[in-house]
Amino acid sequence: MKDQFDHVRSWVFDLDNTLYPPTARLFDQMDARMNAWITREIGVPPQEAQALREGYLTQYGTTLGGLIEHHGIDADDFLRDTHELDLKNIAPALHLRAEIDRLPGRKIVFTNGSRRHADRVTEALGLTGAFDAHYGIEDAKYVSKPRPEAFDRVFAAEGLTPERSAMFEDMAINLTIPYKLGMRTVLVSQEDVAQPDHVHHVTDDLAQFLSRING
């Protein structure tokens, strides 16, 4: 395993359901807050708000993308409100911290959530200072993964060389562009999933996987 990552000097990590397991259920809170925000700010009944959220998520990759396109909302207000989550189910990930610290080169978080959300969640995980930068959807000008523009904008800001980089994600579709760019791709999933051609590795234990890379 180690020799397959010896060339890597930039390590890109998704945040939600990648650095912590889905059992934390942060998306349940986020979905509820988004439904409430849409009901209040767009002025539609709760059932219609949920349908809008789910439809925009499917069509644009994030609910935010659809709200910007169709309703001209204040994206920062939406992110502030919907990402203020209760993090009591997030426990410090000491083993993960130790393995991230051992990786050579730069380490960054790249999330479809807000930068503040990344700051709060990594702090709850005991990962403050583990990463050289946190990039949120605002850094991609509110365009989300898996759209190519999101990767272009964040990777340009980071000065990342794809051929010397690896990306870790819980959604296989978000690894399509990194693979095409020449990155090493790792799918982090707690489920028994098929391995697409654009995914080099699959793991259900990120810390253990990184320990194999570190040797």
Q: What is the pLDDT of residues 162-214, one digit of tens each?
A: 999 999 999 999 999 999 999 999 999 988 888 999 999 999 999 999 999 99
CATH number at residue 100: 3.40.50.1000
| CA-to-CA dists, residue 6 to 9, 29, 182, 207, angstroms | 8, 39, 15, 18
Residues 65-91 have pLDDT tens digits of 999 999 999 999 999 999 999 999 999
| For residue 107, pLDDT beyond 90 | yes
State whether 121 and 190 are in the same domain. yes
pLDDT at position 61 is 86
pLDDT at position 10 is 98
State whether 34 and 135 are in the same domain. no
Q: What is the mean pLDDT of residues 54-70?
A: 93
State whether 198 and 182 are in the same domain. yes
CATH number at residue 60: 1.10.150.450
State whether 33 and 114 are in the same domain. no
Q: CB neighbours of 36 closer than 8 A, spacing ≥ 6? A: 49
- 10 Å Cβ neighbour count for 104? 12
What is the separation of C-alpha 195 from the centre of its chain, rounded to a whole number of angstroms?
19
pLDDT at position 194 is 84
pLDDT at position 193 is 82
State whether 76 and 124 are in the same domain. no
State whether 156 and 196 are in the same domain. yes
What is the separation of C-alpha 48 from the centre of its chain, rounded to a whole number of angstroms?
27
Q: Which two tokens stand for residue 195?
A: 């391995």
| Total domains, the chain | 2
Domain boundary pick from 35, 55, 82: 82
Q: Which two tokens stand for residue 202?
A: 């699959």
State whether 132 and 169 are in the same domain. yes
State whether 47 and 109 are in the same domain. no
How much is the pTM?
0.95
Q: Report helix, strand or coil for 43.
A: coil
State whether 114 and 32 are in the same domain. no
State whether 71 and 128 are in the same domain. no
Residue 25 backbone phi and psi in degrees, to 5:
60, 40
Average pLDDT, the chain: 96
Query: What's the rounded Cα separation, in Å, for the pair 133 and 123?
Result: 13
Query: Which domain range does residue 111 map to?
Result: 2-20+91-214
- Is the alpha carbon torsion for 21, 99, 186, 107 positive or negative? positive
Query: Which range has the worst mean pLDDT, 39-48, 106-115, 139-148, 189-198?
Result: 189-198
